């Protein structure tokens, strides 16, 4: 979340080329796309293309739901302008998204969900696997979502790394594949590396570790977010930094590890360490902007929102690394025919650059960085992606000044930030026990 809360401000071709179900390389998938498209169009399998089809999708309405971080009206308006497709958006919090995806599968066409939610949702059979050969921008997707590694030498982070739940074994399978296949569960769209936000003018010393949030000097002036599946990950980063708990996998704790973690939080709460436990974007902004809190769990755009008020605030890189999250678009099982065609067209458009640039300007990352660059100035790209000092003012997607000339992004470049991920947001085998213990902590 995540920076994930509801309160935050194309090729149409039926692939026919034979492609093996498992063990595909990115190269073979891309080659399969080209061959498939050529066969389909050349054989007359698609008639009246593209004019009749293009006119027809202008009449399509797709119902999309997800968290407020990416269910944005500006994106819906641009999709209408570019494709003619009407998107009906519903923004919910993460827990409500997970519940609706499974219990109301006929109420949506597109699920815009996080990968840890997908781990729970996809095995239930309410969504359909997506054929990557229908996406001409598939090869532009960051390797983080294909292999789990930003570079060949990267270490795969703990937790629900997106690539571990990103593919299934076949078109009809609900079993996650151990390596890339032709069939994806979600087409990735948005992600980020989360850390602590601080008020440099109020903390009084350098902040370098997750454990600094537990410093008695900040008693009554700290906060963590109260979304159990995400808050527990921040707590794990804190406890591990303190040397209080040694985890086998922070993203899949044992009962004993959960109990130890919650006990540490409960003691800190009893001692008065925390000022609040926030759930919404606006809460986090107000706590920090007012000075009630000087160090807390925070999301990148929330830090930017505080700075936009003229208040000094920093998204602090920490020695232990970041907690990351990622989301993507998945398709409901019932979607078929022209609506399914339109959904594929929309997803490929999502990866084609305009949306990615929009998300980059919010402080997130595009799943297809190369395409987003085409929709950003060199100065914007340098600031957001390369860690360079801004040559001019940096604007948000609404055209308002976010940073002044000379500013450097907290944490540096894309490679520095996403290359320092320690764990991904996750759903644990002991998820029910974790939620029960978390709720005990909140009401204690």
pLDDT in tens, 308-336: 888 999 999 999 999 999 999 999 999 99
In this prediction, residue 56 has a pLDDT band, given cuts at 50, 70 and 90, of: confident
Judged by phi (left if over 0) then psi (alpha if -120 to 50, else beta), residue 159 lies in left
| pLDDT given at position 304 | 84
| Mean of per-residue pLDDT scores for the chain | 88
Torsion of CA 332, 333, 337, 339, to 10 degrees: -10
In this structure, the chain runs to a length of 444
Taking every pair of C-alpha atoms in the chain, what is the biggest distance, in angstroms? 73
**How far apart are alpha carbons 330 and 347 in whole angstroms?**
9
Q: Which residue reads 């929709």 in tokens?
A: 375
Contact 97, 117 (CB under 8 A): yes
Question: Is a pLDDT exceeding 60 seen at residue 12?
Answer: no
Percent of the chain, pLDDT > 90? Answer: 77
Per the model's pLDDT, the better-predicted residue between 224 and 300 turns out to be: 224
**How far apart are alpha carbons 233 and 241 in whole angstroms?**
12
Average pLDDT over residues 68-97: 92
**How far apart are alpha carbons 194 and 227 in whole angstroms?**
14
Contact 45, 70 (CB under 8 A): no
- Whose CA is closest to 322, among 297, 353, 343, 348? 297
| pLDDT given at position 300 | 85
- Whose CA is closest to 158, among 421, 381, 436? 421
Phi, psi of 189 (to 5 degrees): -130, -40
Contact 267, 443 (CB under 8 A): no
| 178 C-beta neighbours (distance < 10 Å), count | 12
Question: Is a pLDDT exceeding 90 seen at residue 24?
Answer: no
Torsion of CA 384, 327, 417, 268, to 10 degrees: 120
Phi, psi of 345 (to 5 degrees): -60, -40
**How far apart are alpha carbons 84 and 349 in whole angstroms?**
12
Span 369-384, pLDDT tens digits: 999 999 999 999 999 9
Average pLDDT over residues 356-377: 96
**How far apart are alpha carbons 172 and 186 in whole angstroms?**
15
Phi, psi of 45 (to 5 degrees): -65, -30
Domain annotation for the chain: domains and CATH numbers? 51-185+324-351 (3.40.190.10), 198-321+420-443 (3.40.190.10)
Question: Is a pLDDT exceeding 80 seen at residue 262?
Answer: yes
Contact 348, 33 (CB under 8 A): no
Q: What angle do CA 24, 113, 118 make, to 5 degrees?
A: 55
Percent of the chain, pLDDT > 70? Answer: 88
Range of weakest confidence among 56-60, 147-151, 202-206, 274-278 = 56-60
Span 421-438, pLDDT tens digits: 999 999 999 999 999 999
| pLDDT given at position 54 | 60
């Amino acid at each position: 979340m995540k920076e994930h809360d509801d309160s935050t401000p194309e090729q149409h071709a039926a692939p026919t080329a034979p492609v093996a179900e498992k063990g595909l390389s990115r190269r073979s998938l891309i080659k399969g796309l080209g061959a498939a498209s050529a066969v389909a169009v050349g054989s007359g399998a698609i008639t009246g293309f593209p004019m009749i089809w293009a006119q027809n999708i202008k009449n399509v309405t797709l119902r999309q739901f997800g968290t407020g971080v990416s269910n944005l009206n500006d994106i819906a308006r641009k999709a209408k302008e570019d494709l003619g497709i009407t998107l009906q958006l519903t923004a919910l919090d993460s827990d409500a998204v997970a519940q609706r995806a499974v219990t109301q599968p006929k109420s949506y066409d597109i699920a815009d969900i996080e990968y840890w939610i997908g781990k729970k949702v996809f095995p239930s059979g309410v969504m359909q696997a997506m054929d990557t050969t229908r996406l001409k921008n598939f090869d532009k997707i960051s390797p983080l979502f294909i292999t789990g590694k930003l570079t060949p030498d990267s270490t795969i982070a703990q937790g629900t790394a997106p690539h571990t739940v990103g593919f299934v074994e076949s078109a009809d399978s609900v079993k996650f594949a151990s390596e890339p296949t032709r069939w994806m569960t979600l087409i990735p769209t948005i992600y980020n590396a989360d850390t602590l936000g601080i008020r440099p003018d109020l903390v009084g010393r350098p902040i370098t570790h997750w454990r600094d949030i537990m410093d008695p000097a900040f008693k009554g002036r700290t906060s963590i977010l109260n979304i159990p599946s995400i808050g527990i990950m921040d707590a794990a980063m804190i406890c591990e930094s303190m040397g209080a708990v040694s985890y086998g996998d922070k993203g899949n704790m044992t009962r004993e590890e959960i109990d130890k973690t919650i006990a540490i939080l409960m003691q800190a709460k009893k001692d008065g360490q925390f000022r609040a436990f926030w759930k919404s974007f606006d809460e986090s902004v107000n706590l920090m902007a007012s000075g009630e809190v000087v160090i807390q769990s925070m999301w990148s755009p929330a830090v930017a929102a505080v700075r936009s008020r003229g208040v000094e605030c920093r998204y602090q890189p920490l020695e232990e690394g970041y907690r990351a999250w990622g989301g993507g678009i998945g398709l409901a099982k019932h979607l078929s025919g022209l609506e399914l065609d339109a959904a594929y067209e929309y997803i490929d458009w999502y990866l084609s650059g305009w949306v990615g640039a929009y998300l980059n300007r919010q402080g997130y990352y595009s799943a297809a960085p190369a395409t987003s660059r085409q929709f950003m100035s060199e100065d914007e790209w340098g600031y957001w992606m390369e860690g360079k000092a801004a040559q001019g003012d940096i604007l948000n997607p609404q055209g308002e000044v976010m940073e002044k000339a000379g500013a450097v992004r907290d944490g540096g470049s894309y490679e520095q930030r996403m290359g320092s991920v320690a764990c991904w947001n996750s759903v644990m085998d002991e998820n029910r026990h974790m939620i029960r213990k978390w709720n005990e902590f909140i009401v204690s």
